[in-house]
Each structure stands twice: as C-alpha cells, then as structure tokens.
Structure 1
Amino acid sequence: MNKTEREQIRRLVADFKQWGQRAADVQAWHHTVKDAASSGERNLRSRSVEIIRAGQAAWRVVPLQMNDTGIVMRLWERANLPVTTAGDRALLRLLTEDVPRAIAEVGPLLSVRRFFTGSARKQSADAAGESLRRHHLAVTGADGPTRLEQLGFFTAPVDPARLGFDALLDPALRFDLISRRTGPEPEILDRSVFEGLSEALAAIAKVVASEASYRSAARDAGEKVRHAEVQRLLQEMPVDALKAATRDRLRLGALSQAGIGTVQEVLNWGWSLQTLPGVGETSARHMLGAAQTLWQTTYDEMPVRIDINSRRPETTHLLRRLAEWDSCRQTRGASADLERAAELAPLRTAVRGETRHLLVIPTRTLAAAGLVESIQIVKRRAELLGASSASGPKGVGSDPWDDFLTRPADYFAMLSELGFITEDENAVHGDLPEEIIKAVRDQALSGEHLTASLRGYQSFAARFALVQRKVIIGDEMGLGKTIEALAVLAHLRSRGETHFLVVCPAAVVTNWVREVSSKSKLRAHRVHGPERDRAARTWVRDGGVAVTTYETLAWWEPALKELPDLACTVVDEAHYIKNPQALRTIRTNDLIARSDRAILLTGTPLENRVDEFRNLASYVRPDLTVDATDLSPRTFRRQIAPAYLRRNQEDVLTELPELVEVEEWLPMSAADTARYRAAVGRGNFMEMRQAAMLQGPRSEKVQRLIEIVREAEENQRRVIVFSHFREVLDMVARSLPGPVFGPLTGSVPASQRQQMVDRFSLARHGAVLVAQIVAGGVGLNIQSASVVVICEPQLKPTTEAQAIARAHRMGQVQSVQVHRLLSEDSVDQRIVELLAGKKRLFDDFARVSDMADSTPEAVDLSEAELVREVVAAERQRLAERASVEA
C-alpha cells in the first residue's frame, strides 16, 4: 500500500469514526426514549385500579396527576421516533459493529508499525482496507449520512403546551393499556366529574358502619328468638326421638328411670348423664350426640316467627331491636346504590388531592358512561345520607308491638334482609328460562327514589320488568305487585326519566296515590275526579306518576297522544282489558304500544279461557307466538315466559299465617225454602242465589253469620262479609249487632272506599266491613280483618281468591279464617262443583304445575249455559220431590 492509498484509507477511517459516533448517539437516544416511555407506562399501570361489576372487571381506571404530562410527553416522543427500517438497522450495525472491527484491522498499515508487520497481518489489513472502501462507497451511495441525521430527530415538532391527557387516547401513542384492548372507546374524565367521590365513599362507609351495630343487635335478637323456640320444641320432644336419630341403637331405660323424658332434658344434663346407673361414657356420648343432632336439625329448619298471640319477652326484644335499626338506618331502599359504592371503593384511595383526571378504559361491553353514572349515583346517595343524618334511633315507642301491628310488612322485610325469612330461589324465578334469570341477576336496580325495603322476590320482579321492558307480573295477590312496579318507576327516575302513568280501576286510585307518596320520592298526581284537569296539566309540566282510571282515559286520550315521552305505563288489575274489542282495551293498548316500557299487573291472569290471557300477552309482546294446537300448561308457560312472571304466596311468603277455609253447608229454613222455590218457579237464577240470605233473622245463613261475628269479637278479630248482591249486603248490614261499615259497593266513590277501609281498620274487634265482592275484592288491602265470610259461591274461581287475598296477604299477622255459607239442596251445590273445575284449570295454567289433564275449554261454561243448566236441573229436582211428597 503506497502513501496515496494510506491517505485515502485515513480519510475513510475519519469519515467512519464520525458516522459511527453519530450512529451510536442515535441508538442510545432511541433506547433512552423507549425506556422512558416504558417506565411511564409501568408507572400509570401500577396506579390503575379495576372496577368490578357482577363479578367481572368492567373498567380499568388510571388516576392522572398534573406531572403525568411528562409521561404523556415520553409516550409522544416514543410514538414520534423515526421508524427504523431493515436498511436503517443494517446501517447502524455496520457503523457501530462491523466498521470498527475493520478499522482495527487496517490500523497497522497506517503507522510506523507497518515496517514491523508480518506478511499475514499485512494481507489482513489490505483486505480490511478494501472492505472500508466498499463500505464507504455503499454508505455514501445510499446517502447514509443524511439518513443518520434523520434518525436523530423526532418526526414531528414537539409542543409541550399543546400536549394534554387527551393524547393518551391516540392509538398512535401505543399506550399498552389502550392499544391491547377491544370494545367501547376509553375516555378522559375531568376532575369535575369525580370531585368529592372519595369523600362520598367515606361518608357512605361511615353510615354503613354506624348502622352495623344496630343491625348486629337485631340479628342477635333474632337468634335468641330462634334458640328459644328450638328449646321449647325440644322440651316437648320425647327422648324416644333419640332412637330415630340413631336408628334404634340406643337403650333409653336408664333415662326413664332417672326421670329424663325430653330431648332438652338430655341436653341440660350434658356429660352428667354418665353418672346415671347403667349409662357409661360411651352411651352418654351417643345420647348427647343424637340430642345435639336433633337440636341442629331443628335449628336449621326454624324460621323466626312473630306470634301476636304469644308475646314472649325475647320476641318483644327482637321487635324493639328491629325498630331501633329501622329508625336509625339511612340506607333503606338504597341497596343498589350501596352496590355501586362497593364497586367504586378502589377509587377511594386511588383518587387523591393531586388527581386531575381519570383515564377510563372499558374492559367489557360497558362504556365509560356507565362508570360516570355510578359516580353520580354514589355522590347523590352521600348527599341524601348527609341530609338525613341521624345520631341514633328515634321514635321507638314503649311497646314495639304497636308499631309492628301498624306495619307488619316492614318488619317482615327487615327479617328477610337479615336472613331469618328465606325464599326458595327457584320459586322466586317463577317459570323463567335460565338465560332470562341470568340477565335479571345482572340488572342493576337503583333505590335512590325508593323509600321502602324490597323483599328478594320483589327486587327480582322489578329487575325482570327492566330487562324485558314490557311484561305481565302475575304474582298471586298479596305479594306486593304495587311496590314491584314502584321500584321500576323509581329506578327509571334515577336514570333521568320523568313521566310515568298508572291506569287502574277507580276503587284503587286512592291506594295508588298513597303508595307512591309513602314508599317513594316520586310525586303522585290524581288524574281522576273533579281535579283531573289541573292534575293532568301539572303532570305534563312537572312529571311524576299520573294515576288515572280506565274510564278517564276516554277524556284524556287526545292529550296523552301529544305527550312525546312516556317512560313507563303500569296497568293495574290488567284482566280488565282481556277483551280486545272493548274500548278501554283499545285505549290502554295504545298507551302500552307508545310507552318505552309497560307493566301489566294482575293476580288473576286467567279467569275462564287461556285465550283471554293470550290477549294480555299480545299487548306487551306481540312477537310471541303461542301454539294454539298444543295448549298444555307446560307448553303455554314456556311460550309465554319472556313476558310473564308469577309467584305464589306459599312459595315466597314463608311467614304468611295459616289460611283456614271452611265450607259451611246449612239447611234452608222454611222461609228460605219458600222464597227459593218461588225463584226457581220464575226461572230467576240471580234470585235463586240470594234466596237463602234475604229472610233476615229467619234465614239460616244470617243466623250463622251472626254467630261468626260474635265469635270473632270474642277472639279479637274483625270480619269482612262479601256478597255479589246489593240487597244481600243491605240485609246483612241491618241484621248484624256490632259496628258495621259499608256496604262498600261499586256506587261508593273511589276516594271514599279507602277511607271506609281505614275507619274499619281502626274500629274495635268484632267490627264488620260489608262489601260487594267485585268492588271490595279488587285492589284494597284489608289486613286488619282476619275473618272472611262469603255469603254465596261465585261463578269464577278467581273472584273468591281475590276477595280472600284482600286479608290473607303480606303483612297479615293472624291466621285467616274463611267461611263459605252454602245452602244444602240448592243452586249453591251446582256452582261449587263448577267452581272446583275452574280452579283446577287456573292452577294448571297460571301456577307452577305439571298437571295437564285438560284443555282450557274442558270445564269452561258460559254464564248463559250455567243458568239454563242449573235452573232446569233445580226445576226437575223440586218437581220430583213434590211428587214424592204428594
């Protein structure tokens, strides 16, 4: 290599050293930017919290502080690093790895050491020099130096003043919490959205904790009642029961000789049993084990009962603890809101004073708006709790039994909340398929505008209505369908809805207005009667719950059609619209169709024909198909399940007192017989049904009724007397000795019916409410009565069931006695036979039953057919008797 060649190599080496340094700087800069961005990602990830809903992560939330803008800058820098191609990476590797090795090898030829270098080293250096020439030519030919400069600068200008937290939402930043996800878009929440959330969560936690002691005291009192009842039962259980528990492997002669006669006495003796003659340690252990097994079995099956006829000290103590808990707790009706507070609990420590924004990243199908809604609910609940702050129990009277008898349903709801009244989970679900049950369980239910406690089955019904949007709730009478519907309206109000409408019979308008006002924070408007015009205008302007009647719809229909947003229509006693041709059905169905949601309430969804119930279902779900060729009960319930929920009293009200039904067959007096024969002769069916009641004191039925009322007074009970006929009611009112209220008939103005019931409920024992079975058997709640008398059998099975359910319903604390007054050898016998057949049909289709031994029409008769058949039969029977007597 001559001098010229050496100078050329030196120039190449100088270029490569400059380029190599630049390449090393570029690589270091890229690594630094990436490392800083990754460190920022780890920082944000470590501060993030998961919000869980329904057992699954719903959102990941990252609190952002002001100095986190630096992290955003690092992520922006990483996103705007020049992208290195394969050629770029080859260039950098050449300049930082390959070329330095070649420079080291060519070094001996560029200094005086070349005179002392062996031929092999010279040969290697010559090859390295040639390699440098080729590399230099390639780098310059590809404009490598310019590319090096480009790799050392961001691809876009940096403006920190304009780089805010919103940049985190840019997919180009490749923030790992956002880039590796699918579903709804993440959002940045301003501090104004969550301002005060930590304080709200702390306030709710404090209130819940303060109530815990009262709740715990109530639970302890309930356990004492349970233990005392178990002890009383075991005190009456003979020791022979120990044999059953051990499959007759115990010899109990020694116990009898020692005077130990009950299982409780065995427990009282304990290990002292082994001191008895003939009882060793092993026998004592077996006896005690069997006794303890019986105790545990009895305890597990023992509900907490409140018996007003046996006011034991431990039960009185329980009622007082329940009253104290109820008076101090501020979270009544807020269970759904407390669920939201529990969900947001991780944010309580994550959100600090320096937090300015929240990055919300949905992890499922729930958008960030759902989290914002939860935050608002929790903040509002904290405000409500602060406004109603209480330092302790208030208003607990000297005798808690008085308060219990005034509102027993509230006490039973508290016992249910404490777990002392259990519900059959399958019964709560009715006949719903599993996919609907799952959706209902996942549905939230806000209690912000509800002031009453809900039983578990009631909460399920409300959530079912929310999930399915338009439904029939056919819960058996007495289960609280009104509060179930109110819970739906209250939930919708918390979601911003404003206008709700209740359509009901005139007899229950007052009751609906009362329920709305006493059990919710919604405003009720009575759009019925002389003030209907003013109430309607106020409702349209301000919103709330308008309560109107089927008849009033004819007047109001034009104005309602102009209302753009009707959030929910509730149709009470919905069997009133079973006839699709009736005008009230057409008007009501139009409202159902225009409402976002609709709830049809009826305890009697099926009266005579399944076709009528199919009509109701078509109003809420016209898309459902009911196969008319296979109308077995099982098929019918399966097809109607998406729109229909029904539960029975005996399935969900385990605390309901006994229902005792007695058919009292009475002979007819001479006066009764004469009047009955005359009615048969005239072929007057309705007169035949009344004949045995219209003779006053000369009537056997009236005499028996007077005895029933006297017995009720002695037993401290009140009585309801039902009849279909106004003339019978007037006769009863004149014939009874004690305080009589009524007759409550269809002619009594709706506003006065509840007042009549209220006066009756406050009257002394032995008081009687006389009511037409159609007017008094619908809508009204008359738990103050525990004796029901039905003067004559009715033509529909549901008519009597409705009437009985006015008294035998949630909140009733006494056993309910039902007396059916029936005349021997009369039209009553034929009607009872028909009634039994219809009731069986109702049970098959409307209840949970697998019986399918008939089609819907198998035992159905029209009233005209019934009249002809019964009158003809009675004429023939009386004629045959007359001929025999002659």
Structure 2
Amino acid sequence: MERPLPLDELQLTFLPNHADPSEGRFFFYGTPDPLEATLDLGLPPGDPVDTELMTEGGLAEVHGRELPVRPALKPLERIASRPDISGSLAAWARVSNAVLERKYDQLDKLADELPAEGHAAYHSDGHRWNASATVASFFETYAELLRSDSHANRRLITAQHADPGPVELNADLRPYQGHGISWLETVAETGSGAILADDMGLGKTLQAIGLLARRAGESPHLVVCPTSLVGNWKREITRFAPQLSVHVHHGPGRARKLASLPYVDIIVTSYSIALRDIKTLKSWVFDTVVIDEAQAVKNHRSRTAMAVAELTGRVRLALTGTPVENHLHELWAISEFVNPGLLGTQAEFKRRYADAIEAHHNRDAAAGLRAHIDPVVLRRLKEEVASDLPDKIESTVACTLTEEQAQLYSEAINLAFEEGLGEGIARRGRILKLLTELKQICNHPAQALGQNGGKLGDRSGKLDRVTEMCAELVESGGRALVFTQYRAAGEMLAGHFKEALGIDAPFLHGGLDGEARERLVDAFQAAEGPAVLIISLRAGGTGLNLTNANHVIHFDRWWNPAVEDQATDRAHRIGQEQTVYVHKLVTAGTLEERIDELLTRKRFVAQQVVGSGEDWIGEMDDTQFRKLIELDGEGVS
C-alpha cells in the first residue's frame, strides 16, 4: 500500500502537460504555507494554485505553488545536499543538477530515485504519472527553449509584436515599447530569461519598468546597474511608476538598512556593491533580477559575473545596447546568465558559432545563431522603429600634428622598436603601452609628458580644433558633449575652455560620487546649464539621458564602434528634438587615421548576430604593426 502524502514538509512534484510541453510546471506542496517554505529554502516564488494529486486515498485537491522549470533549476541545484529537505525535493535537485551539467544519460537512473511524492500528478483512472514518464516530460518542457520551432519559441516570437493592453506607467508608450513589454511578460510566463538589446536610446529602462510594474507582488525585484546609473534608475522608476516603492542599496549602513527594510517593490544597487554584498543579496529571493548595461558580465569568469549568477529570481532580464562589443563570447556569457545552457557550453558555442562567424564571416552560421536566440533576444534599431527621431549626422574631423607632437610621436616609435617588442604576453603589454603613448601624443604633448599647468594652446592641432569647434557652437547657441577616455585629457579640456573661451565646462568622470554626477546631468539638461559637458567615455558613456546636446565630439577614439555609439546615443535618443551632429576627431597621418579607416570594415559580427577592441592589433607582426602606426609627414602642420 502506498503511504499517504505528508502535509508537514515541503514536497515537489512535476505537473506534465502533454498538449503543450512548454506549460509543464513544478508544483511545491505539503505545508500549510508553501510560499513561505520555498522562500525559506531560497527557491523562487511560484503562483498559488490548487491541483489534483494522487494520494493514498485517491484523487485529492492540494494547495501549492506552481513554478516554470527553468527558474527553479539553479536554486534546486544549490540545496541538493541539504539534509533537512524532503526526499522529493532532494530527488528533483539531483535531476536539476544532471540537466545543468548536461548529464542526460543519468536521468533514467535518477527517475528510479523519485519517491511517490515526486511524481504525484494525476494521470487517469485512479493512477499517478509514473516516475520515468514524469522525468521524461520534465525534460521535454526544459528542452522547449532549445528547439527553435517549439511551441514556446513560436509564442515568444509572436509576443514580440503583440499589444500588451493597459500598462500602469506614466508614459505614452511607442508601439514597439508596448510590444517589448508584452514580450517580456510572455518570457516571464514561460519561465525563460530575456536579453532586451534594443538600440541605444530606444527606452530599454522604460520597458523593463513596465515589466516590473506588471509583476509587482509578493517578492521584490532587484536591479543591478553601473554605479553611475543607480540614481537614474531610482529617478526613472519614480517618474514612470510612482506606485512602486524603491530602495537604493548603496552607501554606508546599507546592510543594516536592508535587514530592517519593510516590504519594498524594487531594490536598486550597483555591480560593485552586489559583488561586495553578495552573501547578503543571495539570501534574498527576488521575483525579477534585472542587470542593466549587461556587458558588465561579458567575462563569465569575472568575480562580478559569478556573483550575479548567484542571485535568485524567478525572472532574469539583461539590458544592453551592445550584446556584442568585442567577441561573440560576450553574447554567450550574457545568455548564460539569463538562460543557462541555452547556447551550450562555451566550447560548444565556440565550435558551432563563434569560430565560423568571427574567423570566416560565415553567414549561415550567423543566421543559425540568430534563429536560436531570436525568441529570447529582442533587438530593434532606431531606423526600424523610431524613424521620427531627428537625423544623426556623423563626420570625421581631420586634425594636424604640431612639430612638437610629430617629434614626440616619431621618437616614441623609434625607441619602442629599438628596445624590441618581444613575444607573447610581454609583447601585448608593450604594444598596448606604445598605443596609449601615441594616442596621448595625438591629444596633446602635455598629456603625454605628464605636464601640469603651462601653455596649452598652439601645441596640439587637436586641442586647437576642438577649441574652435566649441567656440562656434556656443556662439550659435548649440550644446555639446565632449567625450574622452582619459581623465587627464578631460581636466585639461575643462581648464583650457575656461581660460581660452571663458566658459565653464564641467567634467563628469568616474571619481565623482552618484550625487555629484546627477547634479552635473541635471544642470546640463536645464535650459540655463553649461553649453559644454566633458565626459569620461567609460564613466558616462552608458545609460545617461543628455538630450539637451545637439553636438557630440569624440576628442579621442576608443577604437570600439559599439562603445563610441553608446556614448553618442546619450544625446541621440527618445526625447531628442534636434539633429545631432557627431564629430570624431582624428589626427591625420597617424595611427588614428588608419584605425578609423579599419573600423569601418570591422562591424560584421555585431551587425550580423544581434565591436572591436585593440586585441587584434596585438596579432600583427612587427612590419604590419609599424606600417599601421608610422607617421605620415603630410599630417604635420
């Protein structure tokens, strides 16, 4: 005789759905309050439901919590070795572990270990589902996302063009934004994770807030973003969804404040704090975990990526305007956060897609990857969905070298080659050092020589040109963002503009705290604010809304089109009503000019699948490298 199903400890079974495998669900039951029991174990919150299970006495209606498969796998894996959980929970934890480790050949054996409580779904004529069929049905549900033609994936693709109905947001949604919210909701319902990779400036934050507003309920949401955007997230939530309460987990005393926090809808924190406080944050159970500027986890072995992977949420959402900055591996890493296992192991992904696309520009492989990720990666471009945005007119501004710059430039190259570049890692280090030195010389001799104070004018063709441009645009009533990757250059520009033009040009850089950054942004956006804002490319190149600018000047080049485009789109985004003029300063006759030409030919990967850094330069031999950087005398004034 089968023993009765206990009602004093949390149990887990699986509820198959043969008609639609994507609708198969885990079902937690066995205690008076299954929600409290699951949260105590660090398991994601499920939906309350009553269902019929087979007990010793026959068919009985049981109250419990229903949860899609994928959000439960990692949390179940973490509790597999706990001695204080029921046999059914432990058995399903072992099944989850086998699936995550792709040990599918173990599933039949593990099915034999399922106690009656673990396969208690009603089948027919007074019978429960047997253990083997239950595990097989579970795997079929898990695999729905892996098959591009599955019902789940067709439903996700359809949702990308669906009307979400009324959304409780203080915003007039554009059609594509409503479609994005509808898709995000469907992703959440199916238990999938999602990457919202819309072009920069199309309102990814607003769409994410729409999802959070729709899903506000028993468990809080968590937003993890760069430090510079923490204040922006709080401001945008308050603006668009004032009905949601927000807590910023940042600053001194944050652990005590979090511990004593009454219920809150959304917690916002930064990547650096999430890493520092991961022991605290991973003890919480969130409904939705959002990572903004998700390229922060593009290295899956980084401490930051490993920390956020430990966060528990029913829904995982990654926001990024550049899912591929340098290598396709970055897309794999972000996907691994939102949907572990979807793209296979890193080695499998490299063999199947990355090598074919990056090394051979194989369009069939690119199309295959796109078909695989299309249901759970949504990317719309401005020209496709926001054709009413004003034009963005880009131009390359050629600058000359002064004789002082030319002499320093040639001397740096000659010295580097006389000393030798070496091999292996040491060679890469020397090449990077030389590239940095040459770029700084192109900016200004004072930056390259580490000089503070003294005369700046007439020593750099680039500084003289940017000064003329800013003088002209200020005179005509324009507003400009000037981006540089170097703090020394930003401070030099701020001082020089004050002295030469008599204008205050604040410098937004990584050394400022969140409040100081917000003050600079608010001041620039105000009608009476400064006409020029200088920005560190890394500190202010993402997330900010600076639509008061109608000019963007790249004083020096990052040599990564994706990063530069992100910076440009601080101004060219929803809310911009003016044509945006983008000026990229390039010193003629130098490596800047040659690399600018090369970059126009290095956009294939990002465009085909959903960037480029300096790694490829390190692969050149000495002859190729010298040809790239050698000074052409025609660029000297």
For the aligned pair, the TM-score class normalised by the smaller chain equals: 0.5 to 0.7
Indicate the residue corresponding to 1:510 in structure 2.
Answer: 231
Q: CA deviation at 1:464?
A: 1.1
Q: CA deviation at 1:538?
A: 5.0
Task: Give the alignment partner of residue 693 of structure 1, picking from 440, 443, 452.
Answer: 443
Asked if 1:873 corresponds to 2:627, the answer is yes
Indicate the residue corresponding to 1:584 in structure 2.
Answer: 304
- The CA deviation string for residues 494-522 of structure 1, in whole angstroms up to 9 with x for no partner, is xx344010000101111011011111021
Q: How do 1:658-807 residues align onto structure 2 when only pairs under 5 Å count?
A: 658-683=391-416, 684-695=434-445, 696-698=456-458, 699-736=460-497, 737-762=501-526, 764=528, 767-807=531-571
Q: CA deviation at 1:678?
A: 3.2
Indicate the residue corresponding to 2:264 in structure 1.
Answer: 543
Separation (CA, whole Å) in 1 of partners of 2:620 and 2:318: 31
- The CA deviation string for residues 439-472 of structure 1, in whole angstroms up to 9 with x for no partner, is 4566855534x32232211111122112112100
Asked if 1:633 corresponds to 2:366, the answer is yes
Asked if 1:525 corresponds to 2:225, the answer is no
- The CA deviation string for residues 610-631 of structure 1, in whole angstroms up to 9 with x for no partner, is 1220121122122424664354
Separation (CA, whole Å) in 2 of partners of 1:740 and 1:437: 50
CA contact (8 A) 1:717 1:765 kept: no
Separation (CA, whole Å) in 2 of partners of 1:869 and 1:600: 42
The verdict on how the C-alpha distance between 1:534 and 1:742 changes in structure 2, with shifts beyond 3 A counting, is: farther
Asked if 1:619 corresponds to 2:337, the answer is yes
Separation (CA, whole Å) in 2 of partners of 1:555 and 1:772: 25
Task: Give the alignment partner of residue 462 of structure 1, picking from 137, 157, 181.
Answer: 181
Q: CA deviation at 1:863?
A: 5.8
The verdict on how the C-alpha distance between 1:571 and 1:793 changes in structure 2, with shifts beyond 3 A counting, is: same
Task: Give the alignment partner of residue 277 of structure 2, picking from 556, 578, 587.
Answer: 556
Indicate the residue corresponding to 1:342 in structure 2.
Answer: none
SS in 2 for 1:566: strand
SS in 2 for 1:811: coil
Separation (CA, whole Å) in 2 of partners of 1:867 and 1:445: 59
Asked if 1:491 corresponds to 2:207, the answer is no
Separation (CA, whole Å) in 2 of partners of 1:804 and 1:693: 20
- The CA deviation string for residues 311-331 of structure 1, in whole angstroms up to 9 with x for no partner, is xxxxxxxxxxxxxxxxxxxxx
Indicate the residue corresponding to 1:478 in structure 2.
Answer: 201
Separation (CA, whole Å) in 2 of partners of 1:461 and 1:676: 50
Separation (CA, whole Å) in 2 of partners of 1:727 and 1:689: 13
Structure 1 letter corresponding to 2:272: E
CA contact (8 A) 1:656 1:810 kept: yes
Structure 2 letter corresponding to 1:537: A
Pick the structure with greater CA Rg: 1
SS in 1 for 2:457: helix
* Larger strand proportion of the pair: 2
Separation (CA, whole Å) in 1 of partners of 2:156 and 2:233: 29
Q: CA deviation at 1:738?
A: 4.2
Separation (CA, whole Å) in 2 of partners of 1:766 and 1:677: 38
Structure 2 alignment gaps of length 5 or more: 1-60, 62-151, 358-364, 417-433, 446-455
The verdict on how the C-alpha distance between 1:530 and 1:865 changes in structure 2, with shifts beyond 3 A counting, is: farther
- The CA deviation string for residues 731-765 of structure 1, in whole angstroms up to 9 with x for no partner, is 21122124333321111112321211111222648
CA contact (8 A) 1:608 1:838 kept: no
The verdict on how the C-alpha distance between 1:643 and 1:656 changes in structure 2, with shifts beyond 3 A counting, is: same
Task: Give the alignment partner of residue 447 of structure 1, picking from 167, 171, 190.
Answer: 167
Q: CA deviation at 1:861?
A: 3.9
Root mean square deviation of aligned Cα:
2.8
The verdict on how the C-alpha distance between 1:728 and 1:680 changes in structure 2, with shifts beyond 3 A counting, is: farther
Structure 2 letter corresponding to 1:585: A
CA contact (8 A) 1:680 1:871 kept: no
Indicate the residue corresponding to 1:145 in structure 2.
Answer: none
Relative to the length of structure 1, the TM-score reads: 0.46
CA contact (8 A) 1:524 1:547 kept: yes
Separation (CA, whole Å) in 2 of partners of 1:783 and 1:869: 45
SS in 1 for 2:489: helix
Q: CA deviation at 1:663?
A: 0.4
Separation (CA, whole Å) in 1 of partners of 2:492 and 2:398: 20
The verdict on how the C-alpha distance between 1:532 and 1:863 changes in structure 2, with shifts beyond 3 A counting, is: farther
- The CA deviation string for residues 563-583 of structure 1, in whole angstroms up to 9 with x for no partner, is 2x3100110000110111111
Separation (CA, whole Å) in 2 of partners of 1:526 and 1:553: 12
CA contact (8 A) 1:607 1:798 kept: yes
CA contact (8 A) 1:475 1:645 kept: yes
Separation (CA, whole Å) in 2 of partners of 1:542 and 1:667: 60
The verdict on how the C-alpha distance between 1:866 and 1:532 changes in structure 2, with shifts beyond 3 A counting, is: farther
Q: CA deviation at 1:804?
A: 0.3
- The CA deviation string for residues 80-115 of structure 1, in whole angstroms up to 9 with x for no partner, is xxxxxxxxxxxxxxxxxxxxxxxxxxxxxxxxxxxx
Asked if 1:844 corresponds to 2:608, the answer is yes
Q: CA deviation at 1:589?
A: 1.4
The verdict on how the C-alpha distance between 1:780 and 1:516 changes in structure 2, with shifts beyond 3 A counting, is: same
Q: How do 1:126-525 residues align onto structure 2 when only pairs under 5 Å count?
A: 435-439=155-159, 444=164, 447-448=167-168, 450-469=169-188, 470-493=193-216, 496-520=217-241, 521-525=243-247
Separation (CA, whole Å) in 2 of partners of 1:830 and 1:755: 39
SS in 1 for 2:274: helix
SS in 2 for 1:599: strand
Indicate the residue corresponding to 2:290 in structure 1.
Answer: 570
Separation (CA, whole Å) in 2 of partners of 1:881 and 1:701: 16
* Larger helix proportion of the pair: 1
SS in 1 for 2:371: helix
Separation (CA, whole Å) in 2 of partners of 1:503 and 1:867: 42
CA contact (8 A) 2:480 2:533 kept: yes
Greater RCO, 1 or 2 (C-alpha within 8 Å, sep 6+): 2
Q: How do 1:52-71 residues align onto structure 2 when only pairs under 5 Å count?
A: none
The verdict on how the C-alpha distance between 1:556 and 1:629 changes in structure 2, with shifts beyond 3 A counting, is: closer
Separation (CA, whole Å) in 1 of partners of 2:619 and 2:486: 21
The verdict on how the C-alpha distance between 1:557 and 1:456 changes in structure 2, with shifts beyond 3 A counting, is: same
SS in 2 for 1:789: strand
Structure 2 letter corresponding to 1:652: V
Structure 2 letter corresponding to 1:511: N
- The CA deviation string for residues 236-287 of structure 1, in whole angstroms up to 9 with x for no partner, is xxxxxxxxxxxxxxxxxxxxxxxxxxxxxxxxxxxxxxxxxxxxxxxxxxxx
Count of residues in correspondence between the two structures:
434
- The CA deviation string for residues 207-251 of structure 1, in whole angstroms up to 9 with x for no partner, is xxxxxxxxxxxxxxxxxxxxxxxxxxxxxxxxxxxxxxxxxxxxx
Separation (CA, whole Å) in 1 of partners of 2:289 and 2:212: 9
Relative to the length of structure 2, the TM-score reads: 0.64
Separation (CA, whole Å) in 2 of partners of 1:515 and 1:535: 22
The verdict on how the C-alpha distance between 1:534 and 1:715 changes in structure 2, with shifts beyond 3 A counting, is: farther
Indicate the residue corresponding to 1:595 in structure 2.
Answer: 313
SS in 2 for 1:809: coil
Separation (CA, whole Å) in 1 of partners of 2:187 and 2:302: 27
CA contact (8 A) 2:237 2:244 kept: yes
SS in 2 for 1:595: strand
Q: CA deviation at 1:675?
A: 2.7
Separation (CA, whole Å) in 2 of partners of 1:767 and 1:615: 40
The verdict on how the C-alpha distance between 1:863 and 1:527 changes in structure 2, with shifts beyond 3 A counting, is: farther
The verdict on how the C-alpha distance between 1:868 and 1:717 changes in structure 2, with shifts beyond 3 A counting, is: farther
